[in-house]
Structure 1
Amino acid sequence: MSRPRWASIRAGLEEFWAGPYRRTFARARREEDDLFRMVVLAEALGVPDPAAYYTAELIPALYEDFHAWHRRMGMDRSPLEHVACC
């Protein structure tokens, strides 16, 4: 069999096995990302964080999705004074 044919079979099998769980995987990834974001932003939110020194450099990477995150967490406005996204 040729390579493109094997790739096609592989893609079909992957869709067969993973397709029904795609939503579950996406939800799990989103929950994991939310937990990670909470850990990184814990100090800014007023929760003492023993790893704040190590997570401070990750904060700029999280600003892009900050608005969607705080809306998903049920906060109408940004909980941080220095981040006005709304």
Structure 2
Amino acid sequence: MFNKLKRVIEMYDEMLSTPHRTEIARELRDEDDLFLLLVYSDMLGIPNPAFYYTLELYPFIIEKFHDWHLRMGMEHSPLDGIRCC
């Protein structure tokens, strides 16, 4: 009984979110871009008071940065301190 109810809820959720998938994906991509801007802002010349804390995140988000600069039409990393290609 519980599995059937769970499946009905999943189907209902899917039915509601299907028309909005592209909007949701765009919003998530925009949030990721903003996060990358905050993390790499010090390298771009924008003062970042949390630079010391975001420094630990660089190894984890280098792939996202690579995907970002390719999506923006840049063949290579625009930042000298980051070599992802």
Give the TM-score taking structure 1 as reference length.
0.83
Number of corresponding residues: 85
Could you tell me the percent identity over the aligned residues?
44
SS at match of 1:76: coil
Per-residue deviation, residues 28-52 of structure 1 (Å, max 9, x unmatched): 0111011001110111223222221
User: Aligned partners of 2:81, 2:42: CA distance in 1, in Å?
Assistant: 13
Q: Is there any run of 5+ residues in structure 1 with no aligned partner, and where? A: none
- Note the C-alpha offset of 1:83: 2.4
Which residue in 1 is equivalent to 2:64? 65
| Aligned-residue CA RMSD (Å) | 1.6
Per-residue CA deviation, residues 11-69 of structure 1 (Å, 9 max, x unaligned), is 11111111111111111011101100111011122322222122211222111222111
SS in 2 for 1:42: helix
Partner of 1:5: 4
Q: Any unmatched runs of 5+ in structure 2?
A: none
